[in-house]
Amino acid sequence: MFYREAGQFKTGYAADQAIFPILQDRLFVIAVLAFAFVVVPLTANDYWFQAILTPFLVYALTALGLNILTGYAGQISLGTGGFMAVGAYSFYKLTTGFPEMNLIVAFLIAGCFSAAVGVVFGLPSLRIKGFYLAVATLAAQFFLVWLFNKVGWFYNYNPSGTIDAPPREMFGVLVTGAAAKPAVKYLAALSMLTVFALLTKNLVRSAVGRSWMAIRDMDIAAEIIGIRPLRTKLLAFAISSFVVGIAGAELFALHLGSVETIAFDVTLSFNILFMIIIGGLGSVMGSIMGAAFLVLMPIALTNLLVGGFGMQATSAKHLEFMVLGALIIFFLIVEPHGLARLWQIAKDKLRLWPFPH
């Protein structure tokens, strides 16, 4: 009744190509963004910023990056943790080596390093596919983590092998380091997620995105119609690793503040993969929803069980594992295409509501 595009006419190409062609969608997204950029920083407390919102935004960006590779270009990767580590350690080396460097530049260069490494480990994708490619990227995961643990230069030879985010300013405001305000870190993560979500959305609607999807759906057919697999696949690896690398730098500089390589181990790669599978492969919205599900759900469950029902922290943790597992299976059975598809169905139903036909 209220969600219906009747009467909204597209009178030009621009209107036809808009990301959100329906007025209600546009308003909704603007409202969400306004809420996230204005209301949240004014109302949320430290716990919300540091324990819930910032990690959610960081993981959403990571999932977005992996979704480019796995969801749109169809290349399974288990090297996400490794590529995040490249971003984090490059960011550390850049900010400690060049203290005056602008943070945006540092994030972008860190992403470029990660993209370069991603291209190198993406080379096998030209010959191998599916599960075999997953194993090849798994090699990247183990090799990169081992490298950052082994070579002292990456952590400036400090005895513990842990890297700490140095305090760095931007526009006169401290953004990284422990003294930075949680709200500032949140806004930094939010801005980056917004920018990259918009860029990704536009990218996948362009010729590049279409060639990725062609490769994903049938690579031989794609090659026959003139898409070059080498360029397309490596571009997917590069752009995906670029975004993942920036997310890794965020995880280090904005969320954790100090990391050792164990933070980037293979469980992280699996978690990110689960995020996009649950959220929805090949969907920007799905990446964000998947990250929300996997980051927020465990915390919500713990707080509900311990805070709400007064349960012991340990029993709550055990129960949390079970409930989370059950929820994942439930969602995958109800909607194998992920939360994004559920969202789509809900919108379709809303269009007809309250009339069933």
Partner 1 sequence: MNAKKLTLGGMGAAVFATLFTAVPVAAQENYMFLPSLVYRTGAYAPNGVPFANGYADYIALVNARGGVNGIKIKLTECETGYKTDVGVECYEKLKNEGPAGATVFNPLSTGITYQLIEKTWVDKVPVHSMGYGRTAAADGRVFKWTFNFPTSYWSQASAVIKYIGAQEGGMDKLKGKKITHVYHNSAYGKEANPTLKILAKKFGFKLNLLPVDHPGQEQKATWLQVRRIKPDWIFMSGWGVMNQVAIKEAAAINFPMEKFIGNWWSSTESDVVPAGDSAIGYKGTAFHGAGANWPVFDAIKKEVYGAGKGAGPIEGVGEVLYNRGLINTVYTTEAMRTAMAKFGNKALSGEEVRWGLENLNLTAARLDELGLGGFANPIKISCRDHETNGPVRIQQWDGKKWVVVSDWITPMADVVRPMIEKAAMAYAKEKKVPVRKCDGTD
- Closer residue to partner 1, CB minimum distance, 232 or 271: 271
Site for partner 1 in 103-142 (CB under 8 A): none
How far, CA to CA in Å, does 50 sit from each of 6, 81, 112, 300, 316? 43, 21, 27, 15, 22
Tell the smallest beta-carbon distance from residue 341 to partner 1 (Å): 20
Residue 308 binds partner 1 (CB under 8 A): yes
Site for partner 1 in 241-270 (CB under 8 A): 255-260, 262-263, 265
Q: How far is CA 214 from the centre of its chain?
A: 23
Residues 56, 210, 235, 264: what is their CA dihedral angle, to the nearest 10 degrees? 20
Residue 161 binds partner 1 (CB under 8 A): yes
- Closer residue to partner 1, CB minimum distance, 299 or 328: 299
Among 317, 337, 342, 344, binds partner 1 (CB under 8 A): 317
Residue 316 binds partner 1 (CB under 8 A): yes
| Residues in contact with partner 1, shown as a per-residue x/- string from 68 to 107 under the rule CB under 8 A | ----------------------------x-----------
Residue 8 binds partner 1 (CB under 8 A): no
Tell the smallest beta-carbon distance from residue 209 to partner 1 (Å): 30
**Phi–psi pair at 170, nearest 5 degrees:** -150, 130
CA distance 183 to 44: 8
Token pair 């990660």 is at which residue?
A: 114
- Closer residue to partner 1, CB minimum distance, 164 or 250: 164
Site for partner 1 in 170-199 (CB under 8 A): 177-179
Are the CB atoms for 101 and 253 separated by under 8 Å?
Answer: no
Tell the smallest beta-carbon distance from residue 222 to partner 1 (Å): 39
Among 31, 34, 198, 322, binds partner 1 (CB under 8 A): 31
Residue 149 binds partner 1 (CB under 8 A): yes
Residue 27 binds partner 1 (CB under 8 A): yes
Among 51, 184, 213, 323, binds partner 1 (CB under 8 A): 51
Residue 41 binds partner 1 (CB under 8 A): no
Tell the smallest beta-carbon distance from residue 89 to partner 1 (Å): 15
- Closer residue to partner 1, CB minimum distance, 199 or 285: 285
Tell the smallest beta-carbon distance from residue 125 to partner 1 (Å): 27
Residue type at 297 in one-letter notation: M
- Closer residue to partner 1, CB minimum distance, 42 or 179: 179
- Closer residue to partner 1, CB minimum distance, 46 or 348: 46
Tell the smallest beta-carbon distance from residue 162 to partner 1 (Å): 4
* Segment interacting with partner 1, rule: CB under 8 A, options 22-30, 100-108, 187-195, 282-290: 22-30
Return the HEC string of the chain.
CCCCCCCCCCCCHHHHHCCCCCHHHHHHHHHHHHHHHHHHHHHCCHHHHHHHHHHHHHHHHHHHHHHHHHHHCCCCCCCHHHHHHHHHHHHHHHHHHCCCCCHHHHHHHHHHHHHHHHHHHHHHHHCCCHHHHHHHHHHHHHHHHHHHHHCHHHHCCCCCCCEECCCCEECCEECCCCCCCHHHHHHHHHHHHHHHHHHHHHHHCCHHHHHHHHHHHCHHHHHHCCCCHHHHHHHHHHHHHHHHHHHHHHHHHHHHCEECHHHHCHHHHHHHHHHHHHHCCCCHHHHHHHHHHHHHHHHHHHHHHHHHCCCCHHHHHHHHHHHHHHHHHHHHHHCCCCHHHHHHHHHHHHHHCCCCC
Site for partner 1 in 320-349 (CB under 8 A): none
Residues that bind partner 1 (CB under 8 A): 2, 24, 27-28, 31, 46-48, 50-52, 55, 96, 149, 159-162, 164, 166-167, 177-179, 255-260, 262-263, 265, 296, 299-300, 302-304, 307-308, 312-314, 316-318
